[in-house]
Structure 1
C-alpha cells in the first residue's frame, strides 16, 4: 500500500483535491482535524500540553481551549515550534494506526499543510503539492475567511514554507490556478497510484 501526502499552503485548495480523491474511493487522513482529536483524546499529549502551556490549555470541562493556545503561539515562533514538536509525533503515530486499518487499499492519502515542516513527509512514499498563485489564494481566502484581513492572510502565508520550495520537494504537482482543470489531474494520479499500490 502506498502512502501519499497532499500538501500546500493556506488557500491552495488541498481540501478540494482530497475530496476528489475520496470520491474515487481513496481513504483520506486529514492531519488538521486529527491533530485536534488527538489533542483532546491522547492522555500523554494532554499532560505534555499542560506542562508546556499551563492549566489554561484546557477548559474546566476538559475541552482544549484552542483560542487560548492560538493566542500563546501566534506571533511567537518558539512557542509554535514547541507546540508542533509535541503534537506532530502523536499525529504521526495516529496516522500509522489509521493507515494500517486501510491495509486492503492500494493507497491512502494524508492531507497536511505542514508536511515538510513537520517532517511527516518521511512517512510518505510520495508527496503531491497543490499549487495556486498568491493573488488567487488571497482572493479565495478573503471570501472564505471573512474574519481575516488581507494583512492577516499575507502574514500566515509568510510564515509557511514557500510554494516554490514545496513544489521542488514534491514528486507531483496539481495546479489549482483556474486555468487547468483539477479533475483530470487527480484522475491521472489516482490511476497511477492504484496501479502502483495494487
Structure 2
C-alpha cells in the first residue's frame, strides 16, 4: 500500500486539504487525532502518562491537555518522553488501520514528519503552505489564540521553505477553490506514479 504523508505548519489548512482528498475517495488517517483518542482510551498510555506527569495528567477521567501543555512548555525533555509513550501506540494503530484499507493509496497526516525525521515512512510527501498572515488569522479564529502565541508557534516550527525542499508535492492553500484544483492534480499525479 502506498502511503502519502501530508504535513504543514500550524494554520496552513491541513484539515481542509484532507477533506478534499477524502471527498475523492482517498482514505485519510490523522495521527494527532488518533494520538489524542489513544491517550484517553488506552489504559497503558494513561498509566504511563500519570507516572510521567503525575495525577493531574487526567481530570474527570479525560486527558488534561492544558496541564500537559504547560508541563511540556516548561520542560521540553518531557515532550520526547511523552512521544516515546504515545508514538509507538499510534504507529501500531496506523498499521492495523492500513490493513483494512482498499484504495490505490492512503494519506497519513502528521504535523512533524520532517522534524522527527520520519520521511522514510512515506512513499510521497505533500506539504500544505499558506501565507503567514492568513495562517495567523486562521489559528486566532480557530483556537481563540493571541497573535503573539501563534507567531511563537510558527517560529518554533520548521520553515515552509525547508519543508518544500523535502516534499514531493506542495499545495498553496490561500484560496479553497484553487487548493481543490491542486488536490485533484496531485491525486492524478500520484495515481500515475503508482500505476507505472
Normalised to the residue count of structure 2, the TM-score between the two structures is: 0.90
* Residue aligned with 1:181, SS: helix
Q: Distance in 2 between matches of 1:13 and 1:81?
A: 26
* Residue aligned with 2:111, SS: coil
Q: Deviations over 1:148-176 (max 9, x none)?
A: 11101001111211111111111111111
CA separation of 1:70 and 1:22: change in aligned 2, threshold 3 A: same
Aligned to 2:77: 78
Q: Deviations over 1:120-160 (max 9, x none)?
A: 43321111001112122112223333x21110100111121
CA separation of 1:143 and 1:68: change in aligned 2, threshold 3 A: closer
Matched, 1:190 2:187: yes
Aligned to 2:120: 122
Q: Distance in 2 between matches of 1:128 and 1:75?
A: 32
* Residue aligned with 2:88, SS: helix
User: Contact 1:106–1:193 at 8 Å: present in 2 too?
Assistant: no
Aligned to 1:139: 137
User: Contact 1:8–1:14 at 8 Å: present in 2 too?
Assistant: yes
* Residue aligned with 1:173, SS: strand
Q: Distance in 2 between matches of 1:121 and 1:101?
A: 23
Matched, 1:38 2:35: no
Deviates more, 1:171-180 or 1:68-77: 171-180
Q: Distance in 1 between matches of 2:48 and 2:158?
A: 26
Aligned to 1:174: 171
Normalised to the residue count of structure 1, the TM-score between the two structures is: 0.89
Q: CA RMSD in A?
A: 2.0
CA positional deviation for 1:30: 1.0
Q: Deviations over 1:47-100 (max 9, x none)?
A: 2212211122123x4321112211211243222232223222221221111111
* Residue aligned with 1:127, SS: strand
Q: Distance in 2 between matches of 1:162 and 1:27?
A: 28
Aligned to 2:110: 112
CA positional deviation for 1:192: 2.4
Corresponding pairs, count: 195
User: Contact 1:8–1:129 at 8 Å: present in 2 too?
Assistant: yes
1:138-157 to structure 2, matched below 5 A, reads: 138-145=136-143, 147-157=144-154
Q: Distance in 2 between matches of 1:91 and 1:105?
A: 21
Ranges of 4+ aligned residues in structure 1 off by more than 6 Å:
none
